[in-house]
Amino acid sequence: MKAVVYEKFGPPEVLEIKEVEKPTPKDNEILVKVHATPVTYGETIARNSKNISPRKFNMPFLFWLIQRLDFGLRKPKKKILGSEFAGEIESVG
């Protein structure tokens, strides 16, 4: 399947369209064939989090630290961004 992937933090140019392995849904999970997805403000922060200091983050230091630990300190933990989408159920686990 195709996905927009990022393997390092940075500007929009770090995003690449790549073929990735289609996941298999586990028990109580579904696989959704995505038709549309937005680019949210949170995803722009996640993609560029290496360049966002606590001062630029406009939130308390603790929230900035949690965000860095969640998304990765040196490189992205999750290579595919996105948590909002529209599509159809392809398979059920």
Say if CB 80 and CB 20 are below 8 A apart: yes
Higher pLDDT, 25 or 39: 25
Q: What is the largest CA-CA distance in the chain?
A: 44
The answer to whether residue 67 scores a pLDDT higher than 70 is yes
HEC secondary structure over the chain: CEEEECCCCCCHHHCEEEECCCCCCCCCCEEEEEEECCCCHHHHHHHCHHHCCHHHHCCCHHHHHHHHHHHCCCCCCCCECCCCCEEEEEEEC
The answer to whether residue 17 scores a pLDDT higher than 90 is yes
Domain ranges of the chain: 2-92
* pLDDT confidence band for 50 (50 / 70 / 90): low
Note the pLDDT of residue 69. 86
Integer angstrom CA distances of residue 70 from 46, 55, 57, 63, 91: 9, 19, 15, 10, 28
The answer to whether residue 55 scores a pLDDT higher than 80 is no
The answer to whether residue 12 scores a pLDDT higher than 80 is yes
